[in-house]
Amino acid sequence: MKRDLITSAIGIVVLTLLFGIVYPLFITGVSQVAFPGNANGQQVYVGGKLVGSKIIGQNFADLVYKNGKVEMSDGEPVTTPDPHYFQTRPSGTVPADNDAATEFENYGPNSVVTKAALEANIAAYIALDKAPNGTPYYPGGLTAAKVPVDAADTSASGVDPEISIANADIQAYRIAAVRRLSLSTVHQLISKYTLGRGLGFSGEPGVDVLEINLALNRLSPSTS
Amino acid sequence: MTFLGWLTIFLFVSLLTVVALPLGSYMAAVYTGERTILDPVFRVPERWLYKVMRVNPEQGQDWKQYAKSLIIFSLVGWLMLYFILRSQTLWDFTGLNPMHYHSAPWNVTFNTTSSFMTNTNWQYYGGETTMSYFSQMAGLTVQNWLSAGVGIVVAVALVRGIVSRSGQSIGNFWQDMIRTILYVLAPLSIVYALVLVFQGSIQNFSSYLTVHGITGISQTLAMGPVASQEAIKLLGTNGGGFFNTNSAHPFENPTGFTNFLEMLSVLIIPGALVFMYGKMAGNRRQGYAIYTTMMIMFLGAVIVAYIAEAHGSPAQHAAGLHTGVISGSTGGNMEGKEQRFGIAGSALFDVITTVTSCGAVNSAIESFTGIGGAVPFANLSASEVIFGGVGTGLYSILMYVILAVFLGGLMVGRTPEYLGKKIEGREIKLVSLAILITPLTALFCTAVATASRSARALSISANAKGGPQGFSETFYSYLSQANNNGSAFAGYTGFIQPNSGNLGSHGITLADLLGGFDMVFARYAPILFALAVAGALAGKRISPAGLGTMRTDNPTFVVLLIGVIILVGALTFFPALLLGPIVQGLTTHLYN
């Protein structure tokens, strides 16, 4: 009994030092030397300012001003999606796309609440496709059945950096119109910033939203 | 469903088998004391650890001594972890608490400590809003190593008891533990962590970063030593995420490639242990038979989950979404799933994480369809025998093997024998207890929680779930904790995600304590029974196989074993399952 206690106590302390301190330090050291970009979260800078991480989704929206002040609701600023940018997937994380407190939305498959949330996301997606005069950018207009599932369903992490190609192709009509670009230019960007499957088969391809939006700004910097 | 989706599943299963076979042979060498290729690297640190810890590795232990060392070691580990987590601000001098988080309250810490000690990694806290880097590294990561080690050594001890030819010794706990960590977990973990960073996981000690987005919206990026914890979290089937959204978070699981790797890393040790068993038993076919049993049940679960998720959910259809495959999208139930993993990568991950005791998730299990969500329930109901946790899976299925041998013996009217050893009353009593204790604990805790106002699933957010979903949440919570899994229908209350900047997490004491009890009892009671079985078998003489001996390495036995597992699992859990996920799977009705 006493022997076991002594061995356990020494063992826990020594193993904590080895695997709780030395091991993470070693991995950090090697990573920072060999893969510094990845190890620090693939930070993206524009004009010396940190504008995001390549692999963390964010909200491309504008703050809503009321009487010259940012409108707030429940302590969070009210925002509206910016039509000049590709929009990320709906997120359950509050404040929107806050990477420092990620959360599942946990919508059940048979829930009235889920249905209502999906309907709201679908309506927002369709509304964004409409020009100020009410005509849809997407030829023939969008209906719920035409909205890709990833544009209505919330992501798991709340900070999904990618959208499906179908989703990007629909948004391309809007982007081309509001930025006065040709549709084929936008499509070229979509294929350029589409991340393929892992090893060619694992997972699904998706368009990196931050990267394509930055590329759009480089192409037509006047808008935004 | 897509061709590539099915191909992913096929390649996964093939690659797993190809990797697990040689690893199994290697592990057999590690535990029988043969020379391995890593001896030149780890021999010196191994001897040094024996010396520092005052261990005599030559000294064999009978099952009681082995169990005593294991329990005391776990207890000391528990105290250490509780101390580290509760004294979080005390370690600020290390600079590893950049957000200056305070400790979580005692009830949450009790739950978390029990959770990580038992390899469960149930989390009533959000990692990036509660834990300092120091707590994650020195506290939680360390238990990821140790709890994995405890699981594996119990399996090894049981195997020794089954195959030993004389005496009472089932090995030396300290030697097994140290060799497991050094020779098995460490090399895999170090290489794997670096591969994860190479692919995009983060590994740093920076403060959280503030992003000024191009439209003027700011965002906070959580940082930390993620890859080092991620590697052992998956290899050790622990599953406790660095971040709240676990392996769905891009910093933990950045690409489709890492997703495949993460799935593989969860199953390689549980798979290898089965092959190791065959080798140590002197008859590789024994291992193949068990592996086949596991694989058949595993594939069944994967196929059902993939089809169900690709079909989409009633809520999606009611909202008017088209869930079929279209150009540029696979459709399906993408609610709570990441684009880069897709439906197949999420469904497969979900099955892998729930057949093992891993519990890491890359998608929201609560948002799976009724049938898709019934799959993790069924997996948990099988009590960690389909690959299972590291070690836990092997010793749990060996309990079922002995039970199947006994039932088979009754059918043909012969004294049951397993590998030449007579199975008698004492062994069967112990085996029955080992098998029944987990479901009993889970059902007991679910009943208590459902009957109490505070622990019943009452959702904290606006999307409160009534009807079967609420019961599913509660039931899944205690089932998951009893099986030391740690995945969740995460809407279950018990912890309230603090707002960013709001320190610590808040718990509901009953849920925390009940869960803590659930995890500890359902982990250590079966371990004690498994070690007792090892002790009971260790001393038995081996009689040569005769003509009438029932073989345990052929397809007939595989069928019998699957039958026993399903029968026990179904009989214990079916009534409760009917009230939750099965109702949801059978109806398109939407509940308030």
B175-193 pLDDT, tens digit per residue, is 999 999 999 999 999 999 9
**Residue B418 backbone dihedrals phi, psi, to 5 degrees:** -125, 120
Residue of B nearest to A4 (CA): B69
- Residue bearing the bigger pLDDT, B468 or B25: B25
**Could you report the predicted ipTM of this complex, rounded to two decimals?**
0.96
Kindly state the helix (H) or strand (E) to which residue B218 belongs, with its residue range.
strand B218-221
Residue of A nearest to B323 (CA): A149
Which two structure tokens, joined as six digits, stand for A68? 């010259």
Residue of A nearest to B69 (CA): A4
Report CB contact under 8 Å: A166, B587. no
Say how far apart CA B388 and CA A66 lie, in whole Å. Answer: 57
User: Residue B299 has what pLDDT?
Assistant: 97
Region B536-551: mean pLDDT is 86
Tell me the DSSP string of B437-496.
Answer: HHHHHHHHHHHHHHHSTTTS---SSS----HHHHHHHHHHHHHHHHTT-----TT-SSEE
User: Residue B507 has what pLDDT?
Assistant: 58
pLDDT over 90 at A54, yes or no = yes
pLDDT > 70: what percent of chain B? 95
User: Residue B547 has what pLDDT?
Assistant: 75
HSE, CB side, 13 Å, CA atoms: give it for residue B519: 29
pLDDT over 70 at B499, yes or no = no
Report CB contact under 8 Å: B129, A110. no
User: Residue B543 has what pLDDT?
Assistant: 86
> Environment class of residue B109 by beta-carbon count within 10 Å: exposed (0-12), middle (13-18) or buried (19+)?
buried
Report CB contact under 8 Å: A157, B464. no
Contacts of B28 (CB under 8 A, 6+ apart): B34, B276, B279, B280
Mean residue pLDDT of chain B comes to: 91
User: Residue A74 has what pLDDT?
Assistant: 76
For testing contact with chain B, the best of A46, A50, A114 (most B CBs within 10 A): A114
Question: Is B592 contained in some domain?
Answer: no
pLDDT over 70 at B508, yes or no = yes
Say how far apart CA B486 and CA B353 lie, in whole Å. Answer: 9
B338-392 tens-digit pLDDT: 999 999 999 999 999 999 999 999 999 989 998 898 999 999 998 889 999 999 9
Region A80-85: mean pLDDT is 94
User: Does A220 contact chain B (CB < 8 Å)?
Assistant: no
Report CB contact under 8 Å: B591, A58. no
Question: Is B591 contained in some domain?
Answer: no
B284-293 tens-digit pLDDT: 999 999 999 9
**Residue A216 backbone dihedrals phi, psi, to 5 degrees:** -60, -45
Per the confidence metrics, is the pTM higher than 0.90? yes
Closest approach of A133 to chain B, Cα-based (Å): 24
User: Does B222 contact chain A (CB < 8 Å)?
Assistant: yes
Three-state DSSP state, A210: helix
Residues in A touching B587 (Cβ below 8 Å): 110
Question: Is B451 contained in some domain?
Answer: yes
Confidence of residue A97 (pLDDT cuts 50, 70, 90): low
Region B84-95: mean pLDDT is 94
Region B254-276: mean pLDDT is 97
B420-467 tens-digit pLDDT: 999 999 999 999 999 999 999 999 999 888 887 666 654 433 344 457
- Residue bearing the bigger pLDDT, A220 or B432: B432
Report CB contact under 8 Å: B190, A204. no
What does R_g of chain B's alpha carbons equal in angstroms?
23
pLDDT over 60 at B500, yes or no = no
Taking only residues 131 to 160 of chain A, the set having a beta carbon closer than 8 angstroms to any beta carbon of chain B reads 143-150, 152-160
User: Residue B132 has what pLDDT?
Assistant: 95
pLDDT over 50 at B503, yes or no = no
B544-585 tens-digit pLDDT: 877 778 899 999 999 999 999 999 988 888 888 888 888 878
Kindly state the helix (H) or strand (E) to which residue A79 belongs, with its residue range.
strand A79-81
- When divided into structural domains, chain B yields a total of 1
Q: Which residue has the tokens 């993206």?
A: A44
Taking only residues 173 to 192 of chain A, the set having a beta carbon closer than 8 angstroms to any beta carbon of chain B reads none
pLDDT over 70 at B54, yes or no = yes
Of A5, A77, A115, the CB nearest to B315: A115
Say how far apart CA A112 and CA B339 lie, in whole Å. Answer: 24
Say how far apart CA B99 and CA A100 lie, in whole Å. Answer: 11
Which two structure tokens, joined as six digits, stand for B362? 């890359």
Residues in A touching B205 (Cβ below 8 Å): 28
Say how far apart CA A123 and CA A141 lie, in whole Å. Answer: 13
Least confident of B314-318, B465-469, B527-531: B465-469
User: Residue B505 has what pLDDT?
Assistant: 43
User: Residue B460 has what pLDDT?
Assistant: 39
User: Does B7 contact chain A (CB < 8 Å)?
Assistant: yes
Q: Which domain holds residue B155?
A: 3-586
Taking only residues 536 to 565 of chain B, the set having a beta carbon closer than 8 angstroms to any beta carbon of chain A reads none
Contacts of B18 (CB under 8 A, 6+ apart): none
pLDDT over 80 at A93, yes or no = no
